[in-house]
Amino acid sequence: MKKKNYKVIGISAMTFQAEDAKFLIKKIRKWLKNIIIVVGGVHFSALPQDGINSGADYVIRGEGEITLLHCLNNGFPTDKKIIQGETIKNLDDIPMIKMSDIQPFIKSPERYYYKGLQTITARGCPYNCNFCLGRDQRPKGLRYHSIDSIIEFIHKIVKTFKITSFNIVDDIFVIKKSRVIEFCEKVKERISTNLRFHAFTHAGHGDLNLYRKMKEAGFHRISIGAEHGNADILEIMGKNITKAQIRRTTSQIFEAGIDANLLYVLGNIKETNETISETIDFAIFLHKKYNTTSWFSYMQPLPGSPVYEVAKKFGNFINRKHIYHNIDLCYVPFRVSYNHIIKERERGMIQANFPAKTEITIIENYSFFYIFKQISVAILKSITRKNSFELLYNIYEKIMLKGKN
For domain 8-84, give the CATH superfamily.
Cobalamin-binding domain (3.40.50.280)
Q: In the prediction, which pLDDT does 356 show? A: 66
CB 25 within 8 A of CB 57: no
Paired strand residues for 221: 198, 259
Return per-residue pLDDT of the chain as tens, 405 residues.
Answer: 666 788 999 999 999 899 999 999 999 999 898 999 999 999 999 999 999 999 999 999 999 999 999 999 999 999 999 999 999 999 999 999 999 988 877 764 443 444 578 899 999 999 999 999 998 888 888 999 999 999 999 999 999 988 899 999 999 999 999 999 999 999 999 999 999 999 999 999 999 999 999 999 999 999 999 999 999 999 999 999 999 999 999 999 999 999 999 999 999 999 999 999 999 999 999 999 999 999 999 999 999 999 999 999 999 998 665 556 788 899 999 999 999 999 999 999 999 998 865 555 555 455 555 555 555 554 554 444 445 555 555 554 444 444 444
Q: In the prediction, which pLDDT does 394 show? A: 55
Sign of CA dihedral 351, 354, 360, 365: negative
Q: Say yes or no: do domains 8-84 and 91-353 share a fold.
A: no
How many CB atoms within 10 Å of residue 241? 23
Q: In the prediction, which pLDDT does 396 show? A: 47
Q: State the greatest distance between any 2 C-alpha atoms of the chain, in Å, as a whole number.
A: 66
Q: In the prediction, which pLDDT does 186 show? A: 98
Q: In the prediction, which pLDDT does 359 show? A: 53
Query: Could you tell me whether strands 36-40 and 8-12 are parallel, antiparallel, or unpaired per DSSP bridges?
Result: parallel
CB 163 within 8 A of CB 115: yes
Q: Which of 297, 403, 307 is nearest to 341 (CA)?
A: 297
Total count of residues recorded for the chain: 405
Give the domain ranges of the chain.
8-84, 91-353
Q: In the prediction, which pLDDT does 113 show? A: 42
3 state DSSP class of 80 = coil
State the Cα–Cα distance between residues 61 and 137, nearest whole angstrom.
9
CB 173 within 8 A of CB 121: yes
State the Cα–Cα distance between residues 403 and 405, nearest whole angstrom.
6
Q: In the prediction, which pLDDT does 104 show? A: 76
Q: For residues 23-40, b (16+ Cβ closer than 10 Å) or e, as one string? A: bbbeebbeebeeebbbbb
Q: In the prediction, which pLDDT does 327 show? A: 85
Q: Which fold has domain 91-353?
A: TIM Barrel (3.20.20)
HSE, side-chain direction, 13 A CA sphere, residue 378: 6
Q: In the prediction, which pLDDT does 372 show? A: 54
